[in-house]
Homo-oligomer: A and B are copies of this chain.
Amino acid sequence: MEPRIYATYWIETAFPLAQAAATMAGEQSTGTFVRVPGETDELREAHAARVEELTELGEVAVPSLPGSGLPKSGDATRRAARVVLSWPVSNMGLSLPNLLATVNGNLSELKAFSGLRLLDLKLPPEFLTRYQGPQFGVEGTRKLADVYGRPIIGTIIKPSVGLGPEATAEQVRGLVEAGIDFIKDDELQADGPHCPFNERVSAVMRVINEHAQRTGKKVMYAANLTGEIDEMLARHDHVLAEGGTCVMASMNSIGLPAMKVLRAHSQLPIHGHRNGWGMLGRSPAIGMSYIAFQKLWRLAGIDHTHVNGIDNKFCETNESVIASARECLTPMFDAPNKGCEIMPVFSSGQSARQAAPTYAALGSVDCMFAAGGGIMAHPGGPAAGVRALRQAWDAAVAGVPAEQAAKDAPELAAALGAFGG
């Protein structure tokens, strides 16, 4: 049996559901708007996409998106449904760029639909013969950061824009002295003329390496190397030469083929920043779920990715945040050690308040937990901010309510006081 690719969609249409699903399958495989010479039944059978499942989800009063058409029958009852389509791998080959053109392609523009969103993907393990997947993943990242049995506590360098290399390194000095495990550049800061990448990395790594020599703790710094391909490879080499242990790239800025090249070259974990995902992810009626999105990038080779956070400052629901995070830890393939699990990164308005609900929902400490103001604005200063986060997670894992744990943990008590209720 030839391996197949499965894609799950949410759709909304006024057409009969079976007809609508068949339109999707036709558009993305053998179809055109009239049957053309050479298009035999055998050919259709071998290559046509199949409708594997079709589940009606109920009627919809108002179309979610403009521009959709109505069936000629005159019955304009609009329905939502869940559709699973499948394709033989040989339609597009083991190629993520061509997979995208197949599972996405023109589907979102079809007139039959007033909503169409890619919810999930299931790929056959044959893709592992062409893509390397994460090089470090959860275990490799823990080893490099030397953090076990609890989340890797992280933060971001702020302000996003404006600090020069030395000022950035000074901020990093405060953070490493505060006991942080992980520091990342902001996605806005890669190689601007006021803070060139190489100089920033050299200055920051000087601080991190000095601290490591003194204390034995080497803080992981995700240096934002987002740029053109030759730039990214050269920047990676500079990070490696300076003793760095992580690089960061904005996925939507670079695209899958550039990530594949970076992964093949890299000797460091790749922190996949998802900025820009809101364009694809925010509307419930169009685009792509993060569950589908992160699978593409895991296969291409990222080791960590952002999932937003519980009660974040953005618009994403907690349910969606946790679904993404769990997915990062769920194997994509059955083969042992080939599941491509990666570190979910919680961030955005996070503080000690969110440790317990995050642990309760995720059921694991295998994550990065990043706070900006939640550390820097702690009343006792950044070191107290980091301690408060660790205390909050220890309490969560022990099943002790944060308020109760705070009685013996003054930094946690101060954090709970400072960061809302």
Do A314 and B111 have beta carbons less than 8 Å apart? yes
Among candidates B65, B92, B193, B373, residue contacting A90 with C-beta atoms closer than 8 Å: B193
- Whole-angstrom distance between the alpha carbons of A317 and B229 in the complex? 37
Q: What 0/1 pattern do residues 34 to 58 of A give for CB contact below 8 A with B? A: 1011110001101100000000000
Do B97 and A67 have beta carbons less than 8 Å apart? no
Stretch from A146-154, A155-163, A387-395 forming part of the interface with B: A155-163
- Whole-angstrom distance between the alpha carbons of A46 and B43 in the complex? 62
Question: Which of A98, A107, A261 has the most CB atoms of chain B within a 10 A radius of its CB?
Answer: A98
User: Nearest chain-B residue to A349 (Cβ)?
Assistant: B33
Do A315 and B161 have beta carbons less than 8 Å apart? no
**B residues near A372, Cβ cutoff 8 Å:** 32-33, 36
Do B90 and A194 have beta carbons less than 8 Å apart? yes
The number of times this chain is found in the oligomer is 2
- Whole-angstrom distance between the alpha carbons of A69 and B349 in the complex? 15
Interface size on A, residues (CB 8 A): 97
Stretch from A137-145, A248-256, A328-336, A403-411 forming part of the interface with B: A248-256
Min CB–CB distance A265 → chain B (angstroms)? 12
Q: What 0/1 pattern do residues 374 to 407 of A give for CB contact below 8 A with B? A: 0011000000000000000000000000000000
14 A-B pairs (CB sep. < 8 Å): A28-B188, A38-B171, A39-B159, A44-B162, A67-B316, A67-B317, A97-B226, A98-B250, A109-B314, A111-B313, A232-B257, A257-B258, A282-B286, A286-B287
Interface residues, chain A, with chain B CB atoms under 8 Å away: 28-34, 36-39, 43-44, 46-47, 65-69, 90-93, 95-98, 100-102, 104-111, 113, 158-163, 167, 170-171, 174, 187-188, 190-194, 226-229, 232, 250, 252-258, 260-261, 275-288, 308, 313-317, 349, 372-373, 376-377
